[in-house]
Amino acid sequence: MVKIPTIHIGKLSLLLSIFVWLALLFVDLVRIFGIINELDSGISEEITWILEILFFFTLYGFYSYSIGKNIQGDFLNLIWRGASTGLFATAFGLLTQLFYTSLAETKIGSEPFLKNFFYHVNFALTTLFLISTTILWKHLILYQKNKQVVKQWQAFEFAMLVATFFVFFNKNNFDYSFLFGLVILLIISIVLSGNLKWIPYLTFKEKWKSLLFLSLILLSTGYLFNRLLAYGNEDRFQINLTDNLFLMALFGFIFVYALFSFLVTLFNLPTSSVFEQKLTEAINFQRLSQSIQPEENEEQVLDILMDSCMSASYSDAAWLEMNPEEHLGGIDQLRFLDEWTKKEISDWIRSQKTAQEWAAVEKPDQLLPLAIRLEHPRYESALLVPLIINKSAIGRMVLCKEVRDGFNKEMINIISTFARQACIAVENHRLLNQAIQNERYQEELKIAQRVQKALLPTRLDHPDSFDICAYSNAADEVGGDYYDTYKLDENRYVLIIGDVSGKGTSAAFHMSQMKGVFHSLIQLELSPAEFMIRANSALSKCLERNHFITASIFLINTENQTINHSRAGHVPTLLYRAKEKNSEFLMFDGLGLGILRNKLYENHVQERTFGFNSGDILVLITDGVVEAKNQKGNQFGFERIKSLVEINCEKTPRQIQQVLIDSLHAFVGGDGMIDDDYSLMVVKFGKKE
């Protein structure tokens, strides 16, 4: 595949303009030869006009591309490019004049072909200066452009386009139509010259440089225009290229815009320092907005705040006073004064009634900066600036000046804006850090949730003689409910359910401790009562004083069809009797683990043994099920659980479990969220194997 080379528009335009100029020079020299020798060269003057217009277009295309591509908003550089081009064209014109002045009436000095060659070179350099400077002016005029300015420039370009072809209309004659067209173009130029929005953005030093460069452009324009008129009045130049409406209009436009720019820049010199101050304030405001990042601390933004406020108010000294709870003592609090002087001024300020009332305002978010007079050998005025975050004062900034009443209203407004922005930046920084911290906590909780789920059994041990299922749900990411089953031998199985007081991470932590203790004690094959006594002794050593655990344990013997049961303050278990077709809650004494942490606990432990038959159902629950409330504040309650089990007694344990969970959420209603952890186990006995 043939690769097409990339076309560089700027270089192509420059080559075309050089080629067209050489063609123009050749055509005109041929015409001059015919005129001198009274021969018909066969080339009409229209060919000259066409080549001249093509030269204008190619130069315009070259400068539009090159300047438009390289411009970076440097106004001074733009003006210098115009001035340097004008100086070059002027220097060549002066050298040409000097050359012919030195030759006087010599034969070389009167040589028509040489004169016309220099004439064409001067024409090319003048055109180059005029078109390049016009493009430069375009970028200055369209700085901070609006729709109206764009339309004005488009009208000017269209008028200049018409002016290039005007030569075909008036045949290069200086008549009324030429004057009329020139006046119209000058009026448009004057209108465009009012767009000088770039001047205020120059610094004081840059304005002086721009005045110099604009002076050079004005002088170059004046000299080149004078040379143009001189060429038009000399008969020795047989080919007239300079009496052209397009060139004359460009002279007028460049001169008018340069003159307007010069005068406005000159009159703006006295206010330059004010604008530079405003620009500095805007930059400082932006720095305050962008100064703090999540990984950084708050010292940076407060340092920038002090520097910005001192710059805006021309303060001679300053310091920060942060509240002790902010823990920002590491900040460099002093600017241009020592600790002793700061203490003197601080003590004097605290003794003033105005400052005391200002500091005692009940709503800090309504505090405004306070300007006061100082009685100090050096400093005569101070400004107290509050630093408010989330409607509370984190501290204050004190600015001092060596003159009396040194803080005017405008300064105070600017400083207030800086202080508010700095406080917003600090508050955003804190909120962002808090959000990052919360996100980290959420990730840690998710990990804890996965760990806790791993603590609950994925498979429940049971024989074919009974079926069992279980479910647990935490109110937060993690909770304190626990259940498990253990197989002691082929005929004996242990069921256990527990609930740590409270919820959340602390409950989940104690739940993991509970599992470890329970799992260790199960291996000892203790009776349910002895199990609770040993569990209380072990857990009392690791539970916090304000925590306790409730639990229920069942030792099921499938051979004898008996159940040994002990309860440690846990929610009573529901037992459904299939033969009697009724149910009851197993209510008997039992104290939570960790409430009594001595041998007196043994007096509060009971054990009960009862039998079971095929079709009987055990429903083990935690208090989150019973105490779940609806929107009216009513509890789900024991009776509702009892009724649901009796109605659905023929179903499988999993179906009964699902009925209980669905009924629980339907009862709570609203968003279906239950305030506490809740768990349940459903056991249904079958026929003995």
Give residue-wise pLDDT tens across range 445-489. Answer: 677 667 667 778 888 888 888 999 998 887 666 667 888 999 988
Which pLDDT tens digit goes with each residue over 377-413?
A: 999 999 999 998 888 888 899 999 999 988 988 888 8
Which pLDDT tens digit goes with each residue over 241-274?
A: 777 889 999 999 999 999 999 999 998 887 766 6
> What angle, rounded to 10 degrees, do the helices at 505-522 and 528-540 form?
130
Asked whether the predicted pLDDT for residue 214 surpasses 50, the reply is yes
CA 181/CA 176 separation, integer angstroms: 9
Give the residue among 41, 25, 38, 216 at the shortest CA–CA distance from 121.
25
| Mean pLDDT on 551-556 | 93
The H or E element containing residue 546 is none
Looking at 201-205, 257-261, 592-596, which range is the least confident one? Answer: 201-205
**Structure tokens that stand for 49 in this block:** 């006009």
CA 216/CA 133 separation, integer angstroms: 12
Tell whether the torsion through CA atoms of 308, 309, 310 and 312 is positive or negative.
positive
pLDDT for res 670: 60
- CA atoms within 13 Å, Cβ hemisphere of 251: 21
**Structure tokens that stand for 676 in this block:** 């506490």
CB neighbour burial string for 209-232, b if at least 16 within 10 angstroms, e if fewer:
ebbebbebbbebbebbbebbeebe
Share of the chain above pLDDT 70, in %: 87
Looking at 1-15, 163-177, 250-264, 658-672, which range is the least confident one? Answer: 1-15
- The values of phi and psi at residue 410, to 5°, are -65, -45
Residue 344 neighbours by CB distance under 10 Å: 17
Angle at 63 between CA 60 and CA 67, to 5 degrees: 145
- The values of phi and psi at residue 237, to 5°, are -90, 100
Most confident among 210-219, 280-289, 503-512 (mean pLDDT)? 210-219
pLDDT for res 450: 72
Q: What is the largest CA-CA distance in the chain?
A: 145
Kindly give the residue spans of alpha helices, DSSP state H, lying in 193-271. Answer: 204-233, 245-268
Q: What residues does 499 pair with on adjacent strands?
A: 481, 550
Q: What residues does 322 pair with on adjacent strands?
A: 395
Angle at 66 between CA 60 and CA 70, to 5 degrees: 145
Give the residue among 309, 310, 289 at the shortest CA–CA distance from 301.
289
Asked whether the predicted pLDDT for residue 649 surpasses 60, the reply is yes
Residue 555 neighbours by CB distance under 10 Å: 23
CA 447/CA 508 separation, integer angstroms: 12
What domains appear along the chain, each with residue ranges and CATH number? 74-269 (no CATH), 296-433 (3.30.450.40), 457-685 (3.60.40.10)
Tokens 């050998």 appear where?
377
330 pLDDT band, cuts 50/70/90, is very low
- CA atoms within 13 Å, Cβ hemisphere of 614: 6
| Mean pLDDT on 74-88 | 90
Q: Which amino acid is at 674?
A: I
Which pLDDT tens digit goes with each residue over 94-128?
A: 998 888 778 767 777 677 788 888 888 999 999 99
Strands (E), 390-461: 392-401
Looking at 295-304, 543-552, 558-567, which range is the least confident one? Answer: 295-304
| Mean pLDDT on 502-509 | 70
pLDDT for res 173: 72
Most confident among 73-77, 570-574, 594-598 (mean pLDDT)? 570-574
pLDDT for res 285: 63
- DSSP letters for 129-159: HHHHHHHHHHHHHTTT--HHHHHHHHHHHHH
pLDDT for res 41: 64
Query: Three-state SS for 609?
Result: strand
Asked whether the predicted pLDDT for residue 29 surpasses 50, the reply is yes
Residue 672: alpha-carbon gap to chain centroid: 38
332 pLDDT band, cuts 50/70/90, is low
Strand 466-473: give its sheet, edge to edge. 466-473, 678-685, 617-621, 574-577, 582-585
**Whether 217 contacts 82, CB under 8 Å:** yes
630 pLDDT band, cuts 50/70/90, is confident
CB neighbour burial string for 565-594, b if at least 16 within 10 angstroms, e if fewer:
bbbbbbbbbbbbebeeeebeebeeebbbbb
pLDDT for res 281: 64
Residue 162 neighbours by CB distance under 10 Å: 15
pLDDT for res 224: 92
Give the alpha-carbon dihedral of 163, 164, 168, 173, to 10 degrees.
60
pLDDT for res 4: 47
- The values of phi and psi at residue 398, to 5°, are -120, 120
pLDDT for res 19: 92
pLDDT for res 186: 93
- The values of phi and psi at residue 166, to 5°, are -65, -25
Q: Are strands 381-389 and 607-611 parallel, antiparallel or unpaired?
A: unpaired
**Whether 479 contacts 504, CB under 8 Å:** yes
> What angle, rounded to 10 degrees, do the helices at 409-455 and 505-522 form?
20
Q: Tell me how long the chain is.
A: 689
CA distances in angstroms from 532 to 274, 496, 528, 539, listed in the order given: 84, 11, 6, 10
Mean pLDDT over all residues of the chain?
84
CB neighbour burial string for 667-686, b if at least 16 within 10 angstroms, e if fewer:
bbeeeeebebbbbbbbbbbe
CB neighbour burial string for 65-88, b if at least 16 within 10 angstroms, e if fewer:
bbbeeeeeeebeebbbbbbbbbbe
